[in-house]
Structure 1
């Protein structure tokens, strides 16, 4: 096969795959953090505006660029303090009320930055008091999907490509280059150029990443993203900013180690390569620390899994990429290059497969709640696709391993390019999965409260109370009276309920329960205005003016 012709086919195939996958990113990516609950809740009415607005998310939230704005039906902003993270739970964003909220309907627009560095926003509609009953429930609020712009997509795609090329260059110069070819300028010089080019590219991409993150977090155009205040706030107050400085130091560490090794002879002193490799692995750790793993419950395990996953993909794809890029330069030493380099690459490739599989299993167990989510969610489908592609890539790798061990050194550049193309897709999918929302566990059925107690101040009355659903919003209260022997009693001229949060018993709502067929007394309404412990006092007055009372305590979620 003509080397120049093979090189053209490799380049065209890799470029096509890279462009197709990069173009697919905008339609697939969205944010991880999900709003679990809010106080006030969306599409509910509360008797009185709570002292604090609470937003609870499934992941930790970064402490900068938080915003909660509440407006009335005329667009007037209501009095609120600046939004902040809760001091006891980084999953919760808080905004204190600083003035009065008259009865009426309000719209809350919120915006936060999730642990994986994505701005999340949404809208919540709620009512306060008798004039705040929502009648147009069809216009419900909720979280808006985050779709990265072209600049974010381009930066991410270039970053993963350069990480792979850097990993492949380090691997080749440090471990794959055959001893008999170390003096060949036709091979070593291009390898050095690819390494320094990829490292310089990483530096540029990292530098661009800071104002890009500032632009996303502050929701400003590029013309304002380089402002001193915004950049300073991003550097000091976000995980992306803190990792930015560390990434610059690690790039300098890698470059310094390679320069020293270059002065002492490429590949002759493994210790310097060890330092460079450690720096590269730590660079991947910083990427994981600004991703979804940083907001998970088991941070260490998830960061380790993310790092191994990206490392395995980078080594496998980067190793193939650098070998294919250098193959046209082998010329006279082509046979030795093919046989020795690809034999040495085989254990690295298999090690990468093991890292990909193990880390993939860990991440899947953490993020996919069940088999149904594996095929019923976008995240699960991407995992299935990636697993299938890894099988294809592994089969091609085994084929190349067998060919490399043949004495005739038979090779097939096209099949190598195919393995590389599949690897590029796997690498992009690995990055894409960090930007696709993980499937949430199936929502638990609304809780129900049910209890039966002997009435106070009445010897022959037992009160049974049932509340469903036991949650913020509309609930139905059902009261049933029996005598001490269990016989139904319906001789009550009046049954009232006094409902109040345990923390502020004076903020109660009193409602009358109406008699129903079957002997029950019921009342329905928006009486639970927030989560927490609530007390419901049942008071019955019989036709003979006998009183029966009991106070039930329940936890509203």
Structure 2
């Protein structure tokens, strides 16, 4: 069998295995999802409840002022502080809570360090009218670019450290004192430690939806450092600082004790990543072990490639054929581990085949699978050329480095994207239902018209019409709509829209309070280019 056919057979087998496992998979794990509330959304109670209970799919962490009880006028009602018991949030209500309509606006942090938000309503007393809040729960905000960038830099630093250590210990002995290998080791330690510090700073504004100017707010930093995310990130930082203190001198890897410290440190850092990624959501040891092994395998493969390329470039001593073949064997094992753990991870995140193309997370995962497949194919070519000599393999190794670094970038983005929901929205009690139009400008002469009918708190139907620059229907790939009441600090609340025809999207939503609501529309075309626009509507 030729090399090309072997690679094709391997990729086909991996694709079939992944798809088959996704089709047969059971419930997946993602961010925390609201399962139920007591009282129910829209419930009408004769007497004030003694407590409000929110049940999630997994453990959540509370934020200061993250859960608020709002009265009929939108004013916050003083309440005791809520407490968590695993996946359950219990919130004692005031004993003298008067009759009226109330909205619970909540924002919590999932076990994987991402914020989720939502709201529900209930009424107390006879004759009180209350409508359920029809807002699909989702992440409070998309992860900002600085959070994604910090994760990427952290991954990059880790793979540089891992690659330098593994290449020096398992593939080429002279690398233990080689100047280029040592530069990679030092660079990786600096990048990884810097990324850990930035992650701690960025986490507070991200989960609380506060501006980046609050980066050094002491209360925010304290809240972050005392969270699960903060604990794991601080452990990672301490390990990196300890490794830096011991391994910084050139030739440190010549010492046997230092080599054991380097190996232990790399493994420890890999474990900490499992405490700040999606695997942390369920808290399952097996899921975290799989995630840590996945990160470690990627570090060995990608980092080893960078170390090999760096050592083979420039002047001075270069890796010989024996070293290249040794790395080829290590890379093969790491790729097999990477694919195996990646397949298992996909089962944890996706519970249906159509999630691969119906969710942002699934589409990104599909792209990552394709890029990994490309890298595996290039690696197979490199393995074959390794048998022919060092000069034959360097070109394909450089291509392999580029594709694997792209995999790192996709991994950083995936770590901040919400996997598709796996539970139905929390149940709500049913209630009964001149339209208002909002015109919005899109790019390149296109426009959108949003109609809210009726513009009241009794329940509304929303229709979005997209028109291109020539007056025809604009065929969008995806349209997202959120509602925010800035003056009361409510939202953003997601409004689910469905495509009825090209250029036409419809949905239903109940505005919990009267006031001037800001509606933010995100239109993504077939080229995946997104345009964000907004407008306001007065709800009575």
**Into which bin does the TM-score normalised by the smaller protein fall?**
0.5 to 0.7
Q: After superposition, where does 1:259-270 map in structure 2 within 5 Å?
A: 259=248, 262=250, 265=251, 267-270=253-256
- What SS is found at the alignment partner of 1:410? helix
**Offset at 1:314?**
1.6
For the residues of structure 2 that align with 1:35 and 1:442, how far apart are their CA atoms?
8
For the residues of structure 2 that align with 1:408 and 1:416, how far apart are their CA atoms?
11
Equivalent residue, structure 1, for 2:265: 279
Equivalent residue, structure 1, for 2:161: 166
How many residues were matched structurally?
Answer: 402
Equivalent residue, structure 1, for 2:121: 125
Q: After superposition, where does 1:409-488 map in structure 2 within 5 Å?
A: 409-413=391-395, 415-441=396-422, 443=424, 473-474=429-430
Deviations 1:459-514 (A, max 9, x none): xxxxxxxxxxxx66249xxxxxxxxxxxxxxxxxxxxxxxxxxxxxxxxxxxxxxx
Equivalent residue, structure 1, for 2:291: 306
Equivalent residue, structure 2, for 1:35: 34
Equivalent residue, structure 2, for 1:114: 110
Max Rg structure: 1
- Indicate whether 1:397 and 2:416 are aligned: no
- Relative to structure 1, the CA distance from residue 45 to residue 153 in structure 2 (aligned partners, 3 Å threshold; closer, same or farther) is same
Unmatched 5+ residue regions in structure 1?
Answer: 1-30, 447-470, 476-557
**Offset at 1:305?**
0.6
- Indicate whether 1:340 and 2:322 are aligned: yes
- What SS is found at the alignment partner of 2:363? helix
For the residues of structure 2 that align with 1:149 and 1:117, how far apart are their CA atoms?
14
- Relative to structure 1, the CA distance from residue 206 to residue 175 in structure 2 (aligned partners, 3 Å threshold; closer, same or farther) is same
For the residues of structure 2 that align with 1:229 and 1:408, how far apart are their CA atoms?
56
Equivalent residue, structure 2, for 1:53: 52
Query: For 1:249, which of 235, 238, 241 is the aligned residue?
Result: 238
- Of 61-70 and 165-174, deviating more is 61-70
For the residues of structure 1 that align with 2:155 and 2:298, how far apart are their CA atoms?
10
For the residues of structure 1 that align with 2:79 and 2:138, how far apart are their CA atoms?
21
- What SS is found at the alignment partner of 2:392? coil
Query: For 2:247, which of 258, 279, 288 is the aligned residue?
Result: 258
For the residues of structure 2 that align with 1:304 and 1:217, how far apart are their CA atoms?
26
Contact 1:124 1:141 in 2 (8 A): no
Contact 2:121 2:133 in 1 (8 A): no
Contact 1:257 1:273 in 2 (8 A): no
Contact 1:67 1:82 in 2 (8 A): no
Equivalent residue, structure 1, for 2:72: 73
Equivalent residue, structure 2, for 1:151: 146
Structure with the greater relative contact order (CA < 8 A, sep ≥ 6): 1 or 2?
Answer: 2
For the residues of structure 2 that align with 1:418 and 1:296, how far apart are their CA atoms?
37
- What SS is found at the alignment partner of 1:369? coil
Query: For 1:210, which of 200, 204, 207 is the aligned residue?
Result: 200
- Indicate whether 1:62 and 2:53 are aligned: no
Contact 1:293 1:303 in 2 (8 A): yes
Query: For 1:289, which of 275, 300, 303 is the aligned residue?
Result: 275
For the residues of structure 1 that align with 2:312 and 2:248, how far apart are their CA atoms?
25
For the residues of structure 1 that align with 2:423 and 2:60, how far apart are their CA atoms?
23
- What SS is found at the alignment partner of 1:387? helix
**Offset at 1:95?**
1.5
- Relative to structure 1, the CA distance from residue 230 to residue 377 in structure 2 (aligned partners, 3 Å threshold; closer, same or farther) is closer
**Offset at 1:377?**
3.2
- Relative to structure 1, the CA distance from residue 174 to residue 256 in structure 2 (aligned partners, 3 Å threshold; closer, same or farther) is farther
For the residues of structure 2 that align with 1:256 and 1:306, how far apart are their CA atoms?
28
**Offset at 1:218?**
4.5
- Relative to structure 1, the CA distance from residue 278 to residue 255 in structure 2 (aligned partners, 3 Å threshold; closer, same or farther) is same
**Offset at 1:357?**
1.9
- Relative to structure 1, the CA distance from residue 383 to residue 201 in structure 2 (aligned partners, 3 Å threshold; closer, same or farther) is closer
- Relative to structure 1, the CA distance from residue 434 to residue 140 in structure 2 (aligned partners, 3 Å threshold; closer, same or farther) is closer
For the residues of structure 1 that align with 2:128 and 2:106, how far apart are their CA atoms?
20
Contact 2:143 2:417 in 1 (8 A): no
**Offset at 1:178?**
4.9
Cα RMSD (Å) of the superposition? Answer: 3.0
For the residues of structure 2 that align with 1:130 and 1:43, how far apart are their CA atoms?
14
Contact 2:117 2:139 in 1 (8 A): yes
**Offset at 1:436?**
2.6
Q: After superposition, where does 1:350-361 map in structure 2 within 5 Å?
A: 350-361=332-343
Equivalent residue, structure 1, for 2:460: none
Contact 1:106 1:125 in 2 (8 A): yes
State the TM-score, normalized to the length of structure 1. 0.65
